[in-house]
Structure 1
Amino acid sequence: MTRIFADYELESPVSLERAAATIAGEQSSGTFVRLPNETDDLRSRSGATVEQIVVEDVRKTPSLPCRLDSDRFERGRIRLSWPIETMGPSLPNLLATVAGNLFELAEVSALRLLDVTFPDAFATANPGPAFGVAGTRALTGVDTGPMIGTIIKPSVGLNPTQTADLVADLVRGGIDFIKDDELQANGPACPLEERVQAVMRVVNRDADRTGKKAMVAFNITGDIDEMKRGHDIVRDAGGTCIMVSMHCVGLAGMLALRRHSDLPIHAHRAGWGLYSRSPDIGISYVAWQKFWRLAGADHLHVNGLSNKFSEPDDSVQASARAVLSPLFENGQGLEAMPVFSSGQTALQLPGSIAAAGSQDFLICAGGGIMGHPGGVAGGVESMRQAADAVASGQSLGDYAQDHPALAKALETFGGRVG
């Protein structure tokens, strides 16, 4: 395949056929008038092609403010394609093509990018995840079952020593994974280098004692040079993971970091609501996560079931399964590890396993672990017991009868899940 395909949900004050043609022209070789050098040959070689149009609904009013007057707004699905020769296998330039000026066109009263299909050339030109599921499991020593993680909060206010003291409690409790909050990177209250040194002394000492090293994702979000320096600080201290807020560093930042990195990259999706919350404009996570996997993200946040945000559970499920799905038909899957988070407890674990269709995921619980009556160890154990209940084919209630940590979680967090 040498063409890139993109699927959209489109609403327009003109016919979908006309709107699709306008988008195809705007996002390839066309302009608002035909120019002398815009020959038929040029259009056939470099123009976008409208592959499919399906009208699904007709409305009397626009979903978004619209400059063109109409009493008929067609809504449905369209598929466009572009020749790869016009941009090459470049992720930033592809993004400008499939999600650029088209959102602003007067002929568009609603538009969402639903999916993108990449030619195989993108698999060889872009680095993809270096570690993914298998590499993350190898580094943490968690061979089976979900990885159990948590988040260090508050994001500001804890100095490096206080942060290390909290990490000491977490590793003593048997946690697999710890991440910085997305708001805590390299601020003066808790500088990255001092935080890394203090935390890794604790983690390395525990690993020497137990033979199992907790993975800590240090937030190194910054400019490209700053991220490279932060990566080296973490690596040289014996750390096994770095974290970035992917929308803040951009595709170019992620690509540069991936090509420099010797560690798994934990990609936080802070700001995702800007792209996703409206049903009438934005980008589906099913499409968006593909860009970030190609750019090198090993872990990708997908929200969580019964979360504290606005995203429904079916969307979370679709996101988790997308992150674990192969990207290419040529055997290069480039699968990453989905990360469930946001108000998670042991009660969400069975649903998370069902949602992902796998136990190859990381679930981060803050209050669900540290708020457990048995402390961190009780919280971690309750999460593991919930996964064991699924493996044994029992309900959480039945399994909890002989497993006190899970029983306490059900008693404490029972109101979290309907």
Structure 2
Amino acid sequence: MTGIKYEDFLDLGYEPADSELVCDFYIEPAHDMNMEEAASRVASESSNGTWAELQVDGSITDLSATACDIDGNHITVAYPDALFEKGSMPQILSCIAGNIMGMKAVDNIRLLDCEWPEAIATSFMGPQFGSSVRNEIFDAGDRPITATVPKPKVGLSTDQHVQVGYEAWTGGLDLLKDDENLTDQDFNPFEKRLYDSIEARDKAEEETGEKKSYLINITADGDEMLRRAELVADEGCEYVMVDVVTTGWAAVQQVRELCEDLGLAIHAHRAMHAAFDRVEEHGVSMRVIAQICRLCGVDQLHTGTADLGKLANEDTVGINEWMYSDLYGMNDVLPMASGGLHPGLVPELVDRVGTNIGVQAGGGVHGHPDGTYAGAKAFRQAVDATAEGIDIHEYAADHPELQTALDKWGTETPR
């Protein structure tokens, strides 16, 4: 018989193999645990250990994770790739972010980062388009693409919603976007909103000579999402939007597979992410959530505003860099900056994160004193000026919509 004990999961001299999934955690051990004891329990519980010392007859497949580094409150755990079902994000997360989040051995635990081995990463489809949407769909050149959400985000009738979209498109914005909680309610049914919005989109394209599109929220149960995606493709729209956290990763993978056949890009809204990543000592970091999104195959993802806007601070720059990085030839993801943006913040945003992004404003468009059309013009003017290296205050001298926006909001960050 072979005994399996907690200490068997700790080896601070171990060098992870290239084939292993390597995860970095922040942990705060329980009051009666030291770091070594807590680290070994994290590796044990997230692989093939248990609380009791086991006596095993014969040989078993070695699927033990190894806690291989401790640096202050940071630990590194290496997982053999045979532990995982390839191409199944739910199964992988059930290991590396499952029971360990509730263990008594740690007061807090946070999954900070992952190094994905090739065999696991390439078992996922990844993005179909990624940041190439900027030019494959919109011919945006060196500028960010632009988007807006009608405000209020729920409560507008379909006719009101479509009118807002039409004014935003003709004002110069590229994308109309549903917000996370607008799907198929009686006041604005999904199918009517789709049909009427695409009709208005086509009219806006004819009038402006620019490509326009619509990020329509198909979030629902799995079968219904697939049905809605097919309707979207039938109408000649280029995108679907999915609330990726609330709908679940298996459903995202299903949508991605169908979108390969339909030629649709996937815009990922991250609603509920802060339930996992806002408390800095516990949960799952937005960096890891972004990694999961890329593997599962979204093309655009909200990643924050680099401490501008109204949302809590997060590592937008670092997350964006990872999403652009080489990952065994997998397509990248276009970061979307949103949450409290307005024209006066565009230059600083681009200075911090570059132009290979999408920028989205809701209140910063529709709250313009002269309405949505003027607000869209002002936002596009700010983007164009910044992409061309022109000071927006100088640009505003010949662009009254931008000047009005600057007079109203200046360059202040909202709360």
Q: TM-score, normalization: structure 1?
A: 0.87
| CA pair 38-249 structure 1, distance change in 2 beyond 3 A | farther
Letter in 2 for 1:245: D
CA contact (8 A) 2:170 2:207 kept: no
Partner of 2:170: 172
Per-residue deviation, 1:106: 1.3
Match of 1:4 among 7, 21, 32: 21
Letter in 2 for 1:82: Y
Per-residue deviation, 1:159: 2.4
Q: Does structure 1 residue 345 correspond to structure 2 residue 333? A: no
Alignment partners' CA distance in 1, 2:387 and 2:150? 29
Per-residue deviation, 1:18: 1.0
Per-residue deviation, 1:176: 0.5
CA contact (8 A) 1:182 1:268 kept: yes
Partner of 2:292: 291
Deviation digits for residues 157-180 of structure 1 (CA, Å, limit 9, x no counterpart): 322222222222222212101101
Alignment partners' CA distance in 2, 1:109 and 1:169? 51
Counterparts of residues 315-334 of structure 1 (less than 5 Å): 315-326=315-326, 328=327, 330=328, 332-334=329-331
Per-residue deviation, 1:38: 7.2
Deviation digits for residues 75-117 of structure 1 (CA, Å, limit 9, x no counterpart): x110001111121323211111111111111110121111011
Per-residue deviation, 1:325: 3.0
Letter in 2 for 1:259: E
Alignment partners' CA distance in 2, 1:9 and 1:197? 48
Partner of 1:363: 359
Alignment partners' CA distance in 1, 2:125 and 2:320? 21
CA contact (8 A) 1:153 1:180 kept: no
Letter in 2 for 1:241: Y
Question: Is the partner of 1:152 in helix, strand or coil?
Answer: coil
- Percent of pairs with identical residues: 31
Over the aligned positions, Cα root-mean-square deviation in angstroms equals 2.1
Letter in 1 for 2:282: I
Q: Does structure 1 residue 409 correspond to structure 2 residue 410? A: no
May I ask how many residue pairs the two structures share in their alignment?
A: 390
Runs of 5+ unmatched residues, structure 2: 1-17
Partner of 2:5: none
Letter in 2 for 1:354: D
Per-residue deviation, 1:415: 6.1
CA contact (8 A) 2:170 2:373 kept: yes
Counterparts of residues 117-266 of structure 1 (less than 5 Å): 117-261=115-259, 262=262, 263-266=264-267
Match of 1:382 among 354, 378, 382: 378
Alignment partners' CA distance in 2, 1:398 and 1:212? 26
**Higher mean Cα deviation, 369-378 or 180-189?**
369-378
| CA pair 38-396 structure 1, distance change in 2 beyond 3 A | farther
Runs of 5+ unmatched residues, structure 1: 56-75
CA contact (8 A) 1:130 1:264 kept: yes
Deviation digits for residues 300-356 of structure 1 (CA, Å, limit 9, x no counterpart): 1113343223x12x5333333333333x2x3x2431111111110112212222332
Match of 2:80 among 79, 83, 88: 83
| CA pair 321-179 structure 1, distance change in 2 beyond 3 A | same
Partner of 2:278: 277
